[in-house]
Structure 1
């Protein structure tokens, strides 16, 4: 019998993981120069920019596969908080041109990852 709750958890995991993974792949292809610049402008070591590969490649793969899912989701939450702090703080209360929240994509990644932390991976996952 198909469990709707477990299927829903799988859909949430796949959506979060796949959509964020595209951002990580883009950074693999184009580099992390923008992030290095943001870190430098905040007086932080630019080597920290490489942590984005953990937050946007490794963690999404963990969430997609259901392997150490809560840890992967926690890494994504941290990654998004850092991204918001470095780049988007001026947009926290802003609306986009289309009328939505200016940070709706970052909010989606942040709050969906937070939900995955509380929900867990569900039945459809790699065995830990």
Structure 2
């Protein structure tokens, strides 16, 4: 069987983009009060919570359609880093209830985004010829 890197990148883009977009839609419908409150408790301005919409709505849409995929992937990776430091540092060395790493979902999003940052969106992306594609 012949390998097809571009089809693999499409599958990765759809997976990472769609699954993170679901998180963003939940934030859109449920509000950002939880995140805003968490930021304020850490001494940061609450309005920074709107940045989650960039990382969990805009970035996944860019990744899904393959427009400036590398920018979308970078934004998503930075969103994962922010989520780690704001919420998940205590879980760094914990196992989840099913035996996997407690941060495996965040890790998969981060590493998937990082892979797309280095590879770009592939041939099946909406844009392919810019340095950020």
TMscore range, shorter length: over 0.9
What count of residue pairs does the alignment treat as equivalent?
127
How far the C-alpha of 1:97 sits from its partner, in A, is 1.2
Alignment RMSD: 1.2
Q: 1:100 and 1:33 mapped to 2: Cα distance? A: 30
For 2:112, what is the secondary structure of its paired residue? helix
Segments of 5+ residues of structure 2 without an aligned counterpart are: none
Segments of 5+ residues of structure 1 without an aligned counterpart are: none
| Deviation per residue, 1:47-92 (Å, 9 max, x gap) | 0001101000000000001000000000001000000100000001
Matching residue of 2:17: 17
TM-score for both structures, normalised by structure 1? 0.96
TM-score for both structures, normalised by structure 2? 0.92
1:1-128 equivalent positions in 2, closer than 5 A: 4-127=4-127
Q: 1:33 and 1:83 mapped to 2: Cα distance? A: 15
Q: 1:46 and 1:124 mapped to 2: Cα distance? A: 38
